[in-house]
Amino acid sequence: MSTGRILEGAGCVTWWGFGPARDLLETCVPRPQGELNVLLVGSGDPRHILKTISGLKDTESLRVWVMENSMDVVARQLLLLYVSLRDPGSMGLQEKTEVFLELFGNSQVRSQTDTTLKQVAARLSAGVTDSLDTDTQTHPCLDTTLLKFKEQDELARIFTRWGRPASAPPCMSKLWDARVRQHLGTRYDARSGCFDWDLAMKLHDRGCAIIHKQQYGRWRESGVAFEMREGLYSVANQTLLSTRVFSRRGDRMGVRGYWGDIVSSPYLSFGVETEDEELLKTQNNQHVKTAQDVSVANMQKLFKSLSTRGHSHTSPAGEGSRTLPDESHAGEEQDLTSHQTELMNLRGVRVTFLSLDSLAKLSTKGRFCRLFNAVYCSASMVHHLDSTLRQTMAPDATLIVELARYLLDLSKEQEASFATKVSEIAKEAGFVAAHTRDDTAYAVFTLQQDG
């Protein structure tokens, strides 16, 4: 395999992470007083955000700062957080879990889920447009006001694209198959055996035996990871489409398609770890439950935690406006207000999205001086870390870096080499390895104390 194709299976856009959800403040003992601040660089999905929120004490407050390398990923983050924040009165626990996991990990979804996507996309678009007009966030928990104007415009365009039916809808099955063909090359006709090998010799060998052969094979073949209901999963998941720029004979051409992971699977984020021993039971050396079962259980646990902390965004008077519209207001204003009532306001929690190029600039801004109690960095973004990060981290802060354990196209030697490189980068940036729990998916570091 050529160097340029080593990570072709992982794709060039990170729709989900390559490791399980972590409470990024778990190692902060004792916890600092006042507001806790966490920076996520390239996390790709909200798994760490949701897990960290669920670990908060009632008296603690949290500010999450998110930086991605693509506005398509930012849009997905906002969508999945919006679904997560839906008030139980407007979306039940089971429905929320199904919608979240379908949009999160399926190349194709049910028509009902597509309808929900279009509705949420319209509301997100209205929210971004409103924040552009007023320079204020439209929901206490979700803040896009620190994005550049052109980035907010791009967000609005992405949401509009999701919500507006395409005149010629993309055939996701063909787009997915094209990626599989490109990745496997001459092995395509023997792809079933390739899928089995990756599962048994790589994922299972890395501790993910909960991922069943049938579900993994179905996902590798079609891109559909979660089928929680009997139904037709036939509508393209618009949130997994993006544009990749190719250079051919000096010309640059954008090609719209599916450019994400086709090897490691979306099961890694929520489906391979659980504290519920019942879900890990085996019979004849086979897991009784599946990664889908674990994903459902973990999502429901996280959503229940959010509901415990959250309450409706608007006042009772505001709730009344949902059924008795004020004719003195414009229709769009009524619509936005009614949408806001669908979301919970998590007490003391705010998620703020930063510009794509903001990491190198954080150390030059006073508001970020010694601010972060924890910083998370994905495997794809670790090369951006340098000594300036130290200036933004609070005393006793933690740096968590995603390793290459679940990048299946890498050999064990390449995986080990990557871990060594991460340690070198962290050391050069002023960090030392932390003695925390045995975690093969992430490397954890703390600030090296001066003197």
pLDDT in tens, 309-365: 976 554 333 333 333 344 434 444 444 455 556 899 999 999 999 999 999 999 999
Q: Between the CA of residue 102 and those of 97, 106, 221, 228, 430, what are the distances in Å?
A: 9, 5, 16, 9, 41
pLDDT above 70: percentage of residues in the chain: 89
pLDDT at residue 138 in the model: 66
Residue 167 Cα to chain centre, angstroms: 29
- Encoded amino acid at 329, one letter: H
Ordered alpha helix ranges (H), 370-444:
412-428
pLDDT at site 144: 94
Which of 312 and 227 is assigned the larger pLDDT? 227
Helix (H, G, I), strand (E, B) or coil at 102: helix
Question: Which residues lie closer than 8 Å to 443 by C-beta, 6 or more apart?
Answer: 400, 401, 403, 419, 422, 423, 426, 433
Residue type, 245: V
Say what percent of the chain tops pLDDT 90.
Answer: 77
What's the pLDDT score for residue 315?
Answer: 37
Cα–Cα distance, 301 to 273 (Å, whole number): 13
Work out the pLDDT band at 423, boundaries 50, 70, 90: very high
Rounded Cα distance, 338 and 323, in Å: 9
Q: Which of 41-50, 69-78, 164-173, 255-264 has the lowest mean pLDDT?
A: 164-173
Distance CA 16, CA 7 (A): 15
- Give dist(CA 197, CA 436) in Å, integer: 32
Confidence of residue 439 (pLDDT cuts 50, 70, 90): confident
- What b-and-e string marks burial along 339-358, b requiring 16 or more CB atoms within 10 Å of the CB? bbbbbbbbebbbbbbbebeb
* pLDDT surpasses 80 at 42: yes
User: What angle, rounded to 10 degrees, do the helices at 213-222 and 172-184 form?
Assistant: 100
Burial class (CB in 10 A: 0-12, 13-18, 19+), 219: buried
pLDDT in tens, 161-210: 999 867 787 899 999 999 999 999 999 999 999 999 999 999 999 999 99
Which residues face 312 on adjacent strands?
344
Average pLDDT on 231-238 reads: 95
For residue 300, which of 54, 73, 57 has the smallest C-alpha distance? 54
Give me 25's structure tokens: 């403040």
* Pair type for strands 251-257 and 242-248: antiparallel
Rounded to whole angstroms, the Cα distance separating 331 from 334 reads 5
Average pLDDT over residues 218-244: 95
Parts of the chain belonging to CATH 3.40.50.150: 3-89+112-157+346-447
Write down the pLDDT at residue 330.
Answer: 45
Q: Are 83 and 97 in contact (CB under 8 A)?
A: no
Of 339 and 25, more confident: 25
Q: Give the pLDDT score at 129.
A: 83
At the top level of CATH, which class does the domain 3-89+112-157+346-447 belong to?
Answer: alpha beta
What pLDDT sits at residue 450?
A: 67
Task: Note the pTM of the prediction, 2 decimals.
Answer: 0.91
- Name the DSSP class of 224: B
Query: CB–CB of 45/76 below 8 Å?
Result: yes
Task: Name the token pair of 80.
Answer: 């999945």
Instruction: Give the pLDDT score at 135.
Output: 61
DSSP string, 43-91: --SSHHHHHHHHT--TT--EEEEEE-S-HHHHHHHHHHHHHHTB-TTTS
For residue 242, the cross-strand partners are 257
With a cut of 70, say whether residue 223 has pLDDT above it.
Answer: yes
pLDDT score at 55 = 94
pLDDT band at 18 (very low <50, low <70, confident <90, very high): very high
More reliable by pLDDT, 154 or 253: 154
